Amino acid sequence: MSIFRRLMDRLAHRLWAGRKVTLRFTADYRIAGFTLPLIERLLLDDDDGETYRSSIAQWMLDERPSLHTYRGELSCLRIDGPLQKAGMSYLPLGGLIEAPGVTAHLNPVEAHQLDGRVQEAIEKTILNWIIEHGLYDQPRQHREIDRHKADREARVIIARWVADHFAKPMTDALPDRSDRPYECCSGELGGSLCDGCRKGSDHA
């Protein structure tokens, strides 16, 4: 990119920062119906929107669309699409390993094999967690959540976790009074809310 182009980009950023713009797209009806809700979420001007945008920011750096991206503490595996018909099965177009001291491209067969091994490891880890926490013995929960109540309870647990792990509790996890734990919840296990708070009553 030329110096002039960089200067123009910086100037445009300063002039348009904080302003609203109107975006117009032309797309196939079927595609539009599927992507419009995704676009609306990506354009949210809040923490949700920032999280959605961050989750796909890597797309701009990849030459191919990714089918799966697996991340460890230091290493990353990307499986590249689109899927290709291969006899009675399908294979990815390739893959990429990035680890300390290693950057390696995978051919379709290698990517398929490593993808399967990682999926097996994930499945085993999840099943072990289920057994360790006795989840098979508990009632099956609904997939959907009440966002307001679930977020409030999560922030309470985060605040108590911070208090347990750091000498000086951080207050960022409690942005407003509605998220602060009440005294009535102090006896609940694992930082959970009491029955009254879960129901949204103002008994505290």
For the stretch 183-195, pLDDT in tens is 566 555 545 556 6
| Whole-number Cα distances in Å, 14 to 43, 46, 106 | 20, 20, 42
The count of other CB atoms within 10 Å of the CB of residue 44 is: 13
pLDDT of residue 192: 56
Q: Which of 34-48, 66-80, 143-157, 184-198 has the lowest mean pLDDT?
A: 184-198
Residues pairing with 103 in the sheet: 98
Residue 9 pLDDT greater than 80, yes or no: no
In contact, 69 and 78? CB cutoff 8 Å: yes
In contact, 78 and 63? CB cutoff 8 Å: no
Q: pTM for this one? A: 0.71
Quick one: DSSP state of residue 5? H
pLDDT by residue (tens digit) across 108-125? Answer: 999 999 999 999 999 999
Confidence of residue 23 (pLDDT cuts 50, 70, 90): confident
Residue 75 pLDDT greater than 50, yes or no: yes
Angstrom distance (rounded) from CA 79 to CA 113: 11
Quick one: DSSP state of residue 31? H
Which residue pairs from 75-80 have beta carbons closer than 8 angstroms and sit at least 24 positions apart in sequence?
A: 75/99, 75/100, 77/114, 77/115, 77/118, 79/111, 79/115, 80/111
What are the sequence ranges of the domains in the chain? Answer: 1-55, 63-141, 147-198
Q: What percent of the chain has pLDDT over 70?
A: 73
Give the type of residue at 137: D
Q: Which of 18-27, 48-57, 170-179 has the lowest mean pLDDT?
A: 170-179
pLDDT by residue (tens digit) across 77-101? Answer: 999 999 999 999 999 999 999 999 9
pLDDT of residue 91: 98
pLDDT of residue 21: 81
Residue 204 pLDDT greater than 50, yes or no: no
